[in-house]
Structures are given as C-alpha cells and as structure tokens.
Structure 1
Amino acid sequence: MSKLAQSVTGASAPPCCPSLTERELTEEEAEITAAMFKALGDPVRLRLFSKVASHPDREACVCDIADVGVSQPTVSHHLKKLREAGLLLSERRGTWVYYRVAPAVLAALSGFLATHD
C-alpha cells in the first residue's frame, strides 16, 4: 500500500486533511488530497466509487458494478486507480473481486470540504 493510500485509509495515520477553512494544507496533505480528487476526477471512476459506496453493506462484487458503459478491462483499470489513491480496498473471493470504500475516506473527503466556523 502506498504512503498516500495508508494516510487516506488510516492504515498508518488519521484521515487525510483538515477542512480547507481550518488552516493551510501542508505539502503532504495537499499531495494526498490531490491524489484522491484526481482519482475521482474521471466520470467513470466517480461512478464506480459511487456504486461501491452506495451498494448494500458498502461492499460490491466487480460483477455488480461493472455496468458503466466501458469494457471490463477499462473497469479494472479504473478500479485499480481508485485503489492506488487509497479510496477503495479490494479482496479476492474465488474468481470475483469485492470492493469497499476505505475506512474514513468519505468522512475525510466531506470534512475537507466542510466549513468550520
């Protein structure tokens, strides 16, 4: 797991970053946040992320989320990018791969964009 992914998923650090209005980001926080938003900046990746996040039990088999208008190899490529950015975790079960949103990712993203007065 990359340092960025560890920071985002909480594997070695708390969720990503403070609110934009709380204080200026450090260089590392900016890199982590930019990687997350870059991964979500593609419409196919955003749809895949949304499908996983909104799926019952917050976990989805690739067979349940692959219908996004692109080929299966392209879906796999986009899911890999989401994993590399620390947004999704995956687990192989037999022939299928199951995806779930990494712990604290949604809270980190929403907290980053929230205003704290």
Structure 2
Amino acid sequence: MIRVHIARQFDVRAADGRRLNAEELHAEGERLMQSLLDLEQCNDDFCDSVTATDADKGTVLVELLISDETETGAFEKSRTIVRTAIHAIGGATPWEASADLGADYRPRDVQLEYV
C-alpha cells in the first residue's frame, strides 16, 4: 500500500463560460471543500482534503492524501473522488458536462508525490 499527495487544479467558469468573480469563486471552493469532507466520512482511502482558490487565475486547487496499491490506482481514485465532489455541488466536468449544470471545472494541472 502506498500513500500519495495528489493536487488537482481546475479552471472554473460559470456555465455560460464567463469567469467567476472572486466572491463566486471562493464560495465555489468552500462548497467543494464541504463536499470533499462529506466524502471523507464514508471513505477510508483518502483524507486531509484541502481546497484553495485563486481569483486572479480563475482556478480551484484540490489536494488529497490517498492510499492505494499503485500510483495509477491512487491517480484514478483521486479523479473519481474529485469528480464526485464537483458533481455533488452541481458542477460540471469534461467527463459529464451539461449545459444545465453549474460551474464548469476544466482540468489544468495534476501533481502526485509520495508522502
């Protein structure tokens, strides 16, 4: 079993494509953080969720500690967890984007490091 820190950064826009203002982006980050904390309650494979927003860049950063048998497994697990949290707050991802959903999350950077 390995334990890794995974950071996923997303460009976040409104459903109509406009950039969220600072207040909207920070509120989105807070809602996503709460969704991740809710998921932690029913999943022993990840912990220490963190979100951070950068209004100047229009990004949300999600960080997780994940346990899995392999790097690939941890990477895929992080994608599933983050996607689930985004969808739980009404957001859209490229995997299941829809015009009737809220903020649009587009993957930007992913970083994996051993802890």
Q: TM-score w.r.t. structure 1 length?
A: 0.29
> Which has more strand, going by share of residues?
2
> Which has more helix, going by share of residues?
1
Does 1 or 2 have the higher relative contact order (CA < 8 Å, sep 6+)? Answer: 2
Q: TM-score w.r.t. structure 2 length?
A: 0.29
